Amino acid sequence: MKENEIRRIFKEFEKALRHLRNPPLPPIQKVRQREEILELLRTYQDLQVRIQSAQLQHQLMVNIDHLTRQIEELRQKLELPILIQIESPKDGDSFLAGDTLKVGWKILGPMGNILEAALYQGNNLIKYLGRYPNTGSLYWSIPKFYPSLSQLTIKLIDPLTLATGISGTFSISGGG
């Protein structure tokens, strides 16, 4: 929701509250005004839920990024070998917004049944892609209106063993 729309809803809400404080109105106008205020209150509550949802999504991304960095640091300290060999995407691959990107991998050692997948640009987490069964491949549908990005990689992590794999560097040409 855009900032201007949020301001507009808050102004309407304040206006409705001011009307409540005015001198008594005929009963029909009071009922109409009460209905308008209730509708504004419902809109205000819906707006609060949307804001909280957006804040939670942002916090989740921050937490995932932080945990991914900690796992990578721990893996390096323990000198764990990279046991996930990502075969696709490869260095230099290019995709368009709206394409389906296949991530293919081989397992080079003992591994759990679930892998976590994330899209990175350098060391920056761009998008957490989710948890996937350890089947050797997954498919990510790039949103149709995704921005153009370069120097991207896919990182797979086995949360059980902390084994990791990083794809070749690729790019996405945006569609919007």
pLDDT in tens, 62-79: 777 777 777 777 766 666
Among residues of the chain, what percentage have pLDDT more than 90?
26
Distance separating alpha carbons of residues 154 and 19, to the nearest angstrom? 56
DSSP 146: P
pLDDT of residue 95: 92
Residue showing tokens 């991914």: 68
Instruction: Provide the pLDDT for residue 16.
Output: 65
Give the model's pLDDT for residue 93: 93
State which residues of the chain have pLDDT below 50: none
**β-pair type (124-133, 164-166):** unpaired
Q: For residue 69, what pLDDT is reported?
A: 75
The two tokens of residue 111 are 């591994």
Provide Rg for the chain, Cα atoms: 24
Q: Please, is 78 exposed, middle or buried when counting C-beta atoms within 10 Å of its C-beta (0-12, 13-18, 19+)?
A: exposed
The pLDDT of residue 30 is 61
Q: CB 136: neighbour CB atoms within 10 A?
A: 11
Which residues on neighbouring strands pair with residue 95, listed in sequence order? 172
Neighbours of 104 (CB within 10 A): 15
Separation between Cα atoms, residue 50 and residue 30, nearest integer Å: 30
- Span between the terminal Cα atoms of the chain, in Å: 19
pLDDT tens digit string along 10-33? 677 667 666 655 655 556 666 676
% of the chain exceeding 70 in pLDDT: 79
31 three-state secondary structure: helix
- Quick one: pLDDT at residue 43? 76
CA atoms within 13 A on the CB side of 50: 11
